[in-house]
């Protein structure tokens, strides 16, 4: 990504969408979503510094559109699709129209879906997503959106170049695939296997592993050997088990509580039971609700007065993602 070109693009989009005049006094605000806490905080903080340096450079050169300055506003998405949706609402409430996204294809899928729906309901408050590094191919193919612009080559493009190089190697190479266990890593694994099979069917893939991200979605109550150690609700999801763990066999119980979105998306696979307007609001309350009666039994478990998701909405991370590990430490005097 060329960060200076990124800043100039924001200025051009601002001019097109808002009719911003040259030399306007108010800066164009860019909301940047990235993990600024948790396991991937270093990645988010690094990209934020790069963008801030580029914004400072563009402003020092006179800004965009004949003098308009840019202002970067950072938001902590925590590497979570759910948290990023909450952050998006804060961004919209702050009147910011331009959203920059760092890492996380799973986050990009959720944001594109939410922004599409927001812009249908609120065309006068339209939001544009400028995607820096979420590379899942469907984001610019079957999930392509007018309101989403991606800077990076997608995973298929990158893997195509990589497998071209591998295919030119002499002999019969062996390939071991190690990827992170989320949308991006799964896309890399799929593309690598398909492209290598087409270009060099003699190449052996001797391993195809995914590395868990060490997360829980969304709350976890932990019990060890019958003792309740409490509820974990944020990274790093770590507990001190000193005095509870014992030699030999131990019994670990983890009770996970997640959110409703995946259940709502699952229900959208079933035939509709009520009528919703394109913006999501319900057109007419069902008779059973008006009469104060229970919802009739059906294949749909839920009912909502607003249609937040459809059958193609991406599922959110949910459950005990892991890895689960016991680490020991030995005190050392310094």
Instruction: Report if pTM > 0.95.
Output: no
Tell me whether residue 250 is in a domain.
Answer: yes
pLDDT tens sequence across 233-260: 776 677 777 778 888 888 888 888 888 8
From residue 315, alpha-carbon distances to 131, 189, 263, 270, 292 in Å are 20, 20, 9, 16, 32
CATH number for 81 = 3.40.50.2300
Report pLDDT for 20: 47
Angle at the Cα of 298 (from 282 to 290), degrees rounded to 5? Answer: 45
pLDDT tens sequence across 6-23: 555 555 555 544 444 444
- Which of 65-74, 201-210, 228-237, 283-292 has the lowest average pLDDT? 228-237
pLDDT tens sequence across 113-125: 999 999 999 999 9
In this prediction, residue 215 has a pLDDT band, given cuts at 50, 70 and 90, of low
Structural domain harbouring 244: 215-258
**DSSP tag of 111:** H
Calculate mean pLDDT across residues 44-73. Answer: 87
More confident residue, 329 or 168: 168
pLDDT tens sequence across 155-164: 899 999 999 9
Share of the chain above pLDDT 70, in %: 85
Report pLDDT for 84: 93
Whether residue 206 is found in the same domain as residue 219 = no
Rama region for 242: left / alpha / beta (φ>0; ψ in -120 to 50; rest)? beta
Calculate mean pLDDT across residues 201-207. Answer: 88
Report pLDDT for 264: 92
Report pLDDT for 22: 46
* 82: number of Cβ within 10 Å: 19
In this prediction, residue 213 has a pLDDT band, given cuts at 50, 70 and 90, of very low
Tell me whether residue 327 is in a domain.
Answer: no
Mapping DSSP to helix (H, G, I), strand (E, B) and coil, where does residue 91 land? Answer: helix
Report pLDDT for 299: 92
Whether residue 190 is found in the same domain as residue 142 = no
Report pLDDT for 328: 63
**Beta strand ranges found along 172-284 (DSSP E):** 174-180, 204-211, 215-217, 219-224, 227-232, 252-257
Calculate mean pLDDT across residues 20-27. Answer: 60
Question: How many domains are contained in the chain?
Answer: 4
Whether residue 176 is found in the same domain as residue 303 = no
Tell me whether residue 234 is in a domain.
Answer: yes
- The number of angstroms, rounded, from the C-alpha of 187 to the middle of its chain's C-alpha atoms is 15
Whether residue 12 is found in the same domain as residue 71 = yes
Report pLDDT for 333: 64
Whether residue 220 is found in the same domain as residue 207 = no
Share of the chain above pLDDT 90, in %: 36
pLDDT tens sequence across 259-282: 888 899 999 999 999 999 988 889
Cβ atoms of 61 and 53 closer than 8 Å: no
* Residue from 134, 150, 92, 142 nearest 117 by CA: 92
Whether residue 63 is found in the same domain as residue 82 = yes
Tell me whether residue 70 is in a domain.
Answer: yes
Whether residue 141 is found in the same domain as residue 192 = no
* CA–CA gap between residue 334 and residue 101 (Å, rounded): 43
């Amino acid at each position: 990504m060329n960060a200076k070109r990124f800043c100039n693009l924001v200025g051009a989009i601002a001019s097109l969408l808002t009719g911003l005049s040259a030399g306007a006094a108010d800066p164009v605000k860019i909301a940047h979503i990235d993990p600024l806490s948790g396991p991937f905080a270093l990645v988010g903080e690094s990209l934020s510094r790069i963008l801030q340096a580029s914004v400072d450079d563009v402003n020092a050169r006179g800004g965009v559109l004949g003098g308009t300055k840019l202002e970067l506003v950072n938001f902590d998405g925590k590497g979570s699709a759910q948290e990023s949706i909450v952050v998006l609402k804060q961004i919209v409430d702050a009147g910011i129209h331009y959203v920059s996204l760092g890492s996380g294809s799973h986050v990009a899928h959720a944001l594109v879906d939410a922004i599409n729906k927001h812009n249908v309901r609120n065309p006068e408050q339209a939001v544009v997503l400028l995607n820096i590094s979420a590379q899942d191919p469907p984001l610019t193919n079957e999930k392509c959106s007018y309101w989403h612009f991606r800077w990076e080559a997608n995973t298929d493009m990158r893997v195509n170049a990589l497998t071209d190089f591998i295919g030119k190697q002499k002999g019969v190479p062996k390939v071991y695939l190690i990827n992170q266990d989320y949308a991006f890593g799964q896309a890399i694994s799929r593309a690598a296997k398909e492209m290598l099979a087409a270009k060099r069917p003699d190449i052996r893939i001797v391993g195809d592993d995914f590395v868990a991200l060490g997360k829980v979605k969304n709350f976890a109550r932990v019990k060890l050997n019958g003792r309740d150690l409490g509820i974990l609700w944020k990274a790093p999801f770590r507990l001190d088990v000193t005095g509870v763990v014992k030699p030999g066999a131990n019994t670990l119980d983890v009770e996970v509580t997640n959110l409703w979105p995946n259940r709502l998306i699952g229900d959208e696979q079933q035939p509709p039971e009520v009528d919703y307007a394109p913006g999501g609001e319900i057109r007419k309350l069902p008779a059973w609700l008006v009469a104060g009666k229970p919802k009739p039994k059906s294949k749909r478990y839920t009912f909502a007065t607003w249609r937040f998701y459809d059958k193609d909405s991406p599922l959110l991370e949910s459950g005990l993602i892991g890895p689960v590990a016991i680490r020991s430490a030995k005190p050392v005097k310094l």
